Each structure stands twice: as structure tokens, then as C-alpha cells.
Chains A and B, each alone.
Chain A
Amino acid sequence: MLNYDMLLLRFGEFMLKGKNRARFEKTIITQVKALLKPYPGASLRKEYGRVYVDLGGESHTQLIPVLKRVFGVASISPVKVTPSEIDEIVQTAVAFMDERAEEFGEVTTFKVNARRVWKAFPHSSHETNHLVGSPILRKFQQLKVDVRDPDIELRVEIREQGTYIFSEVIPAAGGFPLGTNGKAMVLLSGGIDSPVAAWSSMRRGLEVECVHFYSYPFTSQRAKEKVIDLARALADHAGSIKLHLVPFTEIQTAFTQLGQDNLIITLMRRSMLRIATKLAERERALALITGDSLGQVASQTLPSMNVIGRATDLPLLRPLVMMDKQEIISLSKQIGTYDISILPYEDCCTLFVPKSPSTNPNLRIVDKIEATMSHLPEWLDQAVEQTETITLYAGEASVLTGQPENSEMKDDWF
């Protein structure tokens, strides 16, 4: 297999945004650095509109899937570097095509696209196209030149310090660099949807902090661990992520005692939004994000969204609102949260689903019920106070890095 020397990361759409570009690029570099921490050999170099990651002995097959996650990077190409001498360039280019020979069909079209950046190089771009192209055509009979729309485009960039040869263009996350569009709080339930909503928001340049509501003993310790795992999977994209764990037992118990079973989900969701809003204010976040998808369950009908959404003054972002379940599932597989999400532990919403939850709650009644609960505002504040916050980092092995709940467990057993 060819040993690539570096990876070329191209920036995405934000490049159009003239004045902000420097800030955006800096953000990308910070994120690349965070994701590269587990790979000490690799180092990075910035150039106009691009970042180069020198592999320094690290494996490109390992690094590409990691770097594909960097928000704002449109695509990645593995690059072979040779001395800028025509013989070396031709030799490497042939070896490069040899590597891809198994992809060739009976007829595969290709072209060489040489660019002489270093003007002292004795051959022009046009000449180099021919010098590199003809030995390749001689060696691989299946190849035919097509300069308009080739199946394979072999790029040759001649620079003084060396020539970059590459052809593969691997699509990456795209979007905006992390956090360049501000910060929001995402309600992370433990299901399939909310991690996808979080990722979609991050891709759109939002820094995201996660909020999870747990109500031990109604939910198990493992349900909480599952959410920590989910947040960690999100940290693999963001570099690091904050998770706020909110105790919800008291509020939930109060609602179950109201004798308003069909409204309980509505009431709970409203309280969750209120707590998340308080946390957002504390953390200076400007929006809430949920994984709601229109019509999916009773709390996600339009009348429910109307009644629930009124509990917050912040913009309530629902990235998945118009998506089909299948699309959401396939995204969640792509971003690596699906396998965690489908673990069977109950979260505090699934546990209290009444037999017939209201799909059309009445705002006036809901307001009235809440008004009778004189302690509710106090409980909401308490929940915020008792919220425990942990930070998860990219590349951390799963679980137990936070604080092992098994206090009997001894480190020296391992």
C-alpha cells in the first residue's frame, strides 16, 4: 500500500464569508488539534484555504475517519509528497495510479491536472500534464483521457519544497466551524433523535452543551451512563463537550400525583424546557435544541409543540423536525451514536408514558395546572442548583472515566 505523507483538508462554504474567515480557520485548527491529541506523530500546517496534516508515521486510514468529523472541512485528500524533479514525479504518479488500478473498469477515464506553483520548475503545467500522463497511459491500457469529466483526476502540485500528488477526494462533515455561530443547549434524552439533533447543530457552527434529566429510582444508573456514552460519542466530533445532569425525580413525582395522566408528558417537557432555559442563561447559550420530529410521538404533534414550546422564551431549534425516521437513523449510524441509543435502558419520559397521552393539549388547562403547583418554581431552581456538570473528551475510552459509581471498585484490580 502507498504510504501517504500527509492529508490535505479543504475548507467548506464558510470560505465565502470574507471578514470572518480568519476566525473560522482558527476554529477549525483548534478542533483538528483536539481530535489529533491521541495521535502524537501528526502535526498540522495552515495555508490559504487549506490545512495540511503531516502524518509523521501515523496511519492515514486511522486519521481520515477522525478528521472527516471536523466541522467546516469540506473534503480530505491523502497526499504523497515527492521531490520536485520530473523523474520522481512521474514515478510516484505511476505508483499512485497502480494503487487505484483495482478500481479501473474496462474503460476508465482520467486526466492529469498539474499546477506549477513554483515557477522555476523547468516544465510548464501543460508540459507536465503530458510528461506524467503518457507513461500512465502506456502502463494502464484501460485508461482513456477525458479532460472534461474524468473518472479519476490526478492532481500534481509542484512547489519548491516538494510536489504534492493526490487524486482521492473524500467528502467530510462540511458546514461551519464549531461554535462560530454561537452556543445552544441540547436536550439529550438517550434516544436516537437527540444526538443527531446535537450533531446537526454542531455542523451548523453551534457549540453545544448537553442537558439530561434523570430520575433515579425511576430510571437506572445505566440509563445515565448511556447518556454519558452518547455525550462522549458527540465529543468525538466536537473535541470536547459539556454534559449537565439534572435531577428530575422530585418534579416528576409531583406531576404523577396530579391525576392528569394524559398531560403528564406535556407538563414534564415544559418543566424540562424551563430548567434548560435557566441553564442556558447561566452558560450564556442563546437557544435550546431538541430532537423533535413532527408527528413522531404525542409530544411532537403540532398542538403539543405549540403548548410545550411556549415554556421558553429562547429560540427552540428542532433540526430534525421535517426529517423521516429512516433518515434520522441513518445519520445516527453515520455519527456513531445509533448503537448506544438503542441500548434498552428507560429514560424518564418513556417510563411515564400514559396509556393515551394527549396529542392536543389545551394551553389554558396546562397553565392552570401549573399555577396550582406553588412549589414548582422553587423545584425548578433547586434542580438547576443540584445539576452536576461533567466534561467529556474525544477519544476517551468508553465509560468510567468520569467518576466510577462503583465505589467498591479498586483501580489496582486492573
Chain B
Amino acid sequence: MKYFDYAATTPPYPDVVRTMAEIMETQFGNASSIHGYGERADQLLRRARIGCAATIGVKADEIVFTSGATESNNLAIKGAALRYSSRGKHIITTATEHASVYESVLQLQQWGWDVTFIPVDSRGVVTAEQVLKAVRSDTVLVSLMHVNNETGAIHPVEEIGNLLKKNAPRVLFHVDGVQGFGKVHVAPDKWKADLYSLSAHKIRGPKGAGLLYVRSGVELIPLLSGGSQEHGLRAGTENTALIVGMAKAMRIATERQIDFSSQIRILRDRVMKTIAAIPELELNSTHDGAPHIVHFSYPAMKAEVALHTLEQLGCTVSTQSACSSRSAEPSRVLLAMGRDVACAAGGLRISFGDEHTEEDAAMLEKALHQMVAQLRPLERRM
């Protein structure tokens, strides 16, 4: 079985697993304790914080460790909204955000906030001008993703951030960086981002660890109370082992980013070519998207059936994003990109990791041809 769902989650590096096991066994102290066990744990955290900060080019004290990007996104959006509600009650996001952003803003909407969902074009991206146009005098926050988790579409975050900084300097800018880190160049400081979310398990680190970059000077209301950990922004005993594992995975991902992306871009491009040549399938990803994601639709077939057929043929792929794939609803992201319901309900995502080779891509291509050949007689009448 070949695993092509790296955008959902990744197998942690053996070296990361070993590190975490060693730390769990020997460094179990609570970093808030003042005895030696605690001090040793604290030193591990400090070094991890420095390491994580260095990979994204920010200062160590601007890093808040969380349980993952879902928490980071919730903290960024609700924490900023609660803190700065005196400036206004308007939030801007896009129609294609990850559920943790999308549903956070829906929650704020229920609490009386006004939300602007900027529409995306057929490639799935917004322009900086669109974002700026949506800004009002009561806008508190702009939140959008760097790379879309379903299609790999890349938003022009640097342009957006700089345009915002120039024309609306009081508006905070949050970037959900989960799918971009390790795949494309990342520079929250250059983008003028105030908040930036990351997750460890998308880059071969552990599940249950993530971080939020909070630009110094930006204040948030914590979602978890009960301790002064993480500058009072996130109470709870830090998970030393997972955090060190994340720091290591982030370092490796950063060191390998350029090689990795050029290596998987070749695989992605050949698989995209194959899909484009199969008349039953429709490509939803474009070549200017992230190098690890190919999204396509089989409009005449339920996505679930196509997925299971591919699985029988030895290839694990995904329908929609993992976070919403258990629902049979058509993809919100594809609908927003202007696809029809059939296309949006028949979406499949292939995502590559650093272990994939040309042979794997060839096997996947063969499976795609065979899947369509097997299912063609079962297609619903259009």
C-alpha cells in the first residue's frame, strides 16, 4: 500500500520518534517546577523555542506552543477578536479556509461579529486588492491560509500583508501556514503577518503539537486559563517531548525545503499530466500551486467509490480534506471556486511526501487509469 495523503498527516521521522521517546523516558519534569527536573524541562523548551523561531525567522519570545494548528487558529482568531473588539467587530477571511478558521469565524458571527468571506477565483486564490477592498473602519482581523489544504492553491500573502500594512496598519493579519511550511518559502515577518499558525504532524513531526507566532506587541485573550505558561497565552503543562519533536521536524523540513519541493514538483507535474489526459477526470489544482498537492474531480462518480477503488489498487488518497471528508457534502472549497455540485462532491486529493519516488508516481498513474477503466461502466448518467 502506498500512502499519498501527506496533506492529511505524515509519518513522523524515526529520528523524531526516538527523540521523543528518550525525552519522555528521561525528561519528565514539569517545566514550571523550580527544581532540577523542572529546570531541565524548561531548558529543553527554551532551546526548542529558539529552534522553531529560527526556522521561520522570528524571535523566540514570539512563539506560543499549542496542541496543533486547530488550537493556534482558534487562539489567533478568537483571541484577537476578543482582545481588540473595541476597535470594531468585523473580520475578513476567504471562502476556502480550513474548518478551524472557517468555524471560528462562524462562531464569532453568532456572537454578533460581521464576517466578510472574500470569494476566490477559479484557481482558488484571492488578490491583495480584493482583501484591501473588504477592509472597513471597524475591521479587526484578516485571516487567510497560505496554501489551501484541498487544492494546494497559494494566496499572495506577502502582497496582501504589505498592502494591508501600508493602507490599514491597525488591521491584524493572520496566516494559517499549515500546508505551506516545508513546501514553499515561509517568511511571516516579510509578509507583515501578525499571527502565523503551524502544525507539527504535517511535516513528519508528532500529532498534538503546533505553534502560533504572535508578533511582539500583539496581544491576545487566552482561550485556556489556569497557568502562566506560554506568556500566559496558553495555560497547561507543556508537552516537552512533543515540542522538541516538533522543533526537530521543523529544522529538518526547513533544511530540506528547496530540495524537497523541486523533487516532489516533478512527481506532481507528471501525475497532473496523466490526470489531464484522462477525459473522465477534471484537474482542480494548477501548476502555480503548492508542489505537494494534486486535486482532481471525477464528477460522474462518488468520491468515496473512487477512493476505495484506488485503495484496492494499492494507493491511499483522500476525499476533500481529512477534517471534512467524513461528511458526504460537496466540498465548500470547490464550490467556492465555481465548480458544480457533481465536481465538488467528486473531489479527490493526492498529496506527496519526501519518501515518494518516480516508481511510486508511475504506480499511482497506473492505478488512476485502472480505476477509471473499472468504474466507467458504473458512471451515473450525466
Contact = CB atoms under 8 A, between A and B. Distances in A.
B40 A414 contact: no
Interface string B44-55: 101110110110
B19 A398 contact: no
Contacts of B50: 397-400
By CB atoms of chain A within 10 A, which of B47, B51, B54, B162 has the most?
A: B47
By CB atoms of chain A within 10 A, which of B43, B46, B247 has the most?
A: B43
Contact of A399 (B36, B46, B251): B46
Interface in A393-414: 397-400, 404-406, 408-410, 412-414
Nearest to B40: A406
B244 A222 contact: no
Interface string A219-240: 0111000000000000000000
Contacts of B60: 397-398
Interface stretch (B22-30, B218-226, B261-269, B369-377): B22-30
Nearest to B20: A413
B22 A409 contact: no
19 contacts: A1-B162, A220-B34, A222-B42, A397-B54, A398-B46, A400-B47, A400-B50, A404-B43, A405-B40, A406-B40, A406-B44, A409-B40, A409-B44, A409-B47, A413-B44, A413-B244, A413-B248, A414-B47, A414-B247
Contacts, number: 58
A408 B37 CA distance: 11
Contacts of A1: 162
Interface string B158-183: 00001000100000000000000000
Contact of B39 (A339, A398, A406, A413): A406
Given A1-B162, A406-B40, A413-B248, 19 more contacts: A222-B39, A339-B61, A397-B60, A398-B50, A399-B43, A399-B46, A399-B47, A400-B46, A404-B43, A406-B39, A406-B43, A406-B44, A409-B27, A409-B43, A409-B47, A413-B23, A413-B44, A414-B247, A414-B248
Main secondary structure of the interface of B (DSSP, over half): helix
Interface residues of B, number: 27
Interface in A95-141: 102
Nearest to B231: A339
Interface residues of A, number: 19
Interface of B: 19, 22-23, 26-27, 34, 36, 39-40, 42-44, 46-48, 50-51, 53-54, 60-61, 162, 166, 244, 247-248, 251
A405 B43 contact: yes
A102 B46 CA distance: 41
A414 B27 contact: no
B47 A410 contact: no
Contacts of B46: 398-400
Nearest to B189: A62
B300 to A, nearest CB: 50
A220 B48 CA distance: 21
Nearest to A340: B61
A400 B43 contact: yes
Contacts of B48: 414
Nearest to B51: A414
Nearest to A396: B50
A406 B43 CA distance: 7
Contacts of B51: 414
Contact of A222 (B34, B44, B162): B34
A342 to B, nearest CB: 12
A378 to B, nearest CB: 31
B43 A414 contact: no
B33 to A, nearest CB: 11
B206 to A, nearest CB: 13
Contacts of A222: 34, 39, 42
Contacts of A398: 46, 50, 60-61
Contacts of A397: 50, 53-54, 60
Contacts of A405: 39-40, 43
A408 B26 contact: yes
A220 B61 contact: no
Contacts of B53: 397
A397 B53 CA distance: 10
Nearest to B47: A400
